[in-house]
Amino acid sequence: MGKTLAEKLWDSHVVRSAEGVPDLLYIDMHLVHEVTSPQAFEGLRLAGRTVRRPDLTLATEDHNVPTERIELPIADPVSRTQVETLRKNCAEFGVRLYPMGNLEQGIVHVIGPQLGITQPGMTIVCGDSHTSTHGAFGALAFGIGTSQVEHVLASQTLPMDPPKTMAVTVDGDLPEGVTPKDVILAVIAKTGTGGGQGYMVEYRGTTFEQMSMEGRMTVCNMSIEWGARAGMVAPDETTFAYLKGRPHAPSGPEWDQAVAYWRSLRTDDDAVFDAEVSLDATTLTPFVTWGTNPGQGAPLSGSVPDPAAFDDESDRVAAENALAYMGLSAGTRLRDIEVDTVFVGSCTNGRIEDLRAVAGVIKGRRVADGVRMLVVPGSMRVRAQAEAEGLDAIFAAAGAEWRSAGCSMCLGMNPDQLAPGERSASTSNRNFEGRQGKGGRTHLVSPLVAAATAVTGHLASPADL
């Protein structure tokens, strides 16, 4: 029987396997940021251990950094401590770091791919649950906890049991105005926040074959939101074209060898998945969340649901609590929901194609009165490219704020936050209570919906303009 992509990736990285113990998996690249690493480095120090492979480790500053006036020291003392601790640790242990102000700095899951460090066939880990993003390249990429970060630093391996495999097949052309973000929000609404638990998921079908690398990254990024251990797309010509010529991609004869190997990673025709889910792309429409977890979403054309309509008792209670927190009433049309903040950015939708999509909608228009719009590029390279294309001028002319790179308003760990009661349309990945700031209310949307929402002041799609 043939193997799936996920199984090929797993099997090619087993250092040691024995009866009754987890497999020991080799890690090809360990990405590090300032939030989940301090205690890991401290643990190494206390145990008298060192980083086994600094050359397979890369660090950046993203969660805590401000996105404006970045030439100044970080004002918040605790954020400053975390960032300084990372700098000290990287210097002490010999780990390459791209700090705030460096051209290569950015959100960890944006800089890996743009540097060509994320490649097919690799295992990639990071102390961050959105590490699944790198699976878009046909890599086995997943988030780990701080103790596991310490384990990888010390040994460049992780003991793990192989998860099961699931295929999510989406076929058909995406209708006008429907983006990869809408695809993954629709998948999560269908499966619920626990539907992928215990699985490595492969996204398959013509919709993904036609999707750009950045679109695939958006989808893989949110795999964790429905509980999947990892999400991936098989490498193909689109992948190779993206990688060719990038700083860390192979070149010369090694390029040809690598591509030949990468082509062999596709799921075999006779492989069998443990579970399968499918969606018809042609039925999809712009999707938004109304509640307080990424599974509580609905088509923008719909309304806030009535909790009483949920069959499952815990879904019903969860919906009631969500509506109370979000200050919404059942039956309200989603298009009637007014926002005061629009956030474009994050590891989900902070890349150049996302910024182009927003600029395309907002060009020649103005951000509505009473709405604050933040546009935060996922990396300083993305920022430079956007400026070279004149996108920053479009954002400024519309009255949006153009920022430097970082996780920004995705999570309330840096100055970019919602005040209590504020309501955002956000291209990020989580709408949990308080995620963007204490008492903040988040609606997850695609970049196109974010842009149209900024112009009208209520949830909207470009078709409404």
Partner 1 sequence: MDKFTVHTGQAMPLRRSNVDTDQIIPAVYLKRVSRTGFEDGLFAAWRANEPDFVLNQDRFARATILVAGPDFGIGSSREHAVWALLDYGFKAVISPRFGDIFRGNALKAGLLAVVLDEKIVQRLWDDIGDDPTTPVTVDLVERQVRWHGEVHAFELDDYTRWRLLEGLDDIGLTLQHSDDIAAYEAERKPWLPATANSLT
Question: Per CB under 8 A, which of residues 197..236 are in contact with partner 1?
Answer: 197-198, 224, 227, 229
Q: Applying CB under 8 A, does 379 fall inside the site for partner 1?
A: no
Between residues 236 and 255, which has the closer beta carbon with respect to partner 1?
255
Q: Applying CB under 8 A, does 70 fall inside the site for partner 1?
A: no
Q: Which of 68, 70, 85, 306 binds partner 1 (CB under 8 A)?
A: 85
- Supply the minimum distance, in Å, between the C-beta of residue 252 and partner 1: 10
Angle 179-191-445 (CA atoms, 0-180°, nearest 5)? 30
Residue count, binding to partner 1 (CB under 8 A):
93
**What's the sign of the alpha-carbon dihedral 35, 136, 125, 108?**
negative
- Supply the minimum distance, in Å, between the C-beta of residue 91 and partner 1: 6
Q: Which of 2, 73, 194, 327 binds partner 1 (CB under 8 A)?
A: 194
Strand 164-171's sheet: what is its strand order? 230-232, 199-204, 164-171, 275-280
Strand segments (E) across 172-327: 199-204, 230-232, 275-280, 287-289, 297-299
Q: Applying CB under 8 A, does 390 fall inside the site for partner 1?
A: no
Q: Which of 254, 274, 276, 338 binds partner 1 (CB under 8 A)?
A: 254
Strands 157-160 and 441-444: unpaired
Q: Which of 68, 432, 457, 464 binds partner 1 (CB under 8 A)?
A: 432
Helices 213-221, 180-191: axis angle to 10 degrees equals 30
Q: Applying CB under 8 A, does 162 fall inside the site for partner 1?
A: no
Q: Which of 156, 223, 349, 453 binds partner 1 (CB under 8 A)?
A: 156
Strand segments (E) across 116-266: 123-126, 140-143, 157-160, 164-171, 199-204, 230-232
Site for partner 1 in 102-131 (CB under 8 A): 102, 104, 116-117, 119, 121-122, 127-129
Output DSSP code: residue 329: -
Q: Applying CB under 8 A, does 319 fall inside the site for partner 1?
A: no
Nearest Cα residue to 112 out of 56, 70, 158, 150: 56
Nearest-angstrom CA–CA distance, 308 and 297:
16
In the structure encoding, which two tokens stand for residue 335, read together? 């298009």
Applying CB under 8 A, the span of 80-88, 215-223, 333-341, 348-356 interacting with partner 1 comes to: 80-88
Q: Which of 106, 113, 138, 143 binds partner 1 (CB under 8 A)?
A: 143
Q: Which of 10, 23, 65, 98 binds partner 1 (CB under 8 A)?
A: 98
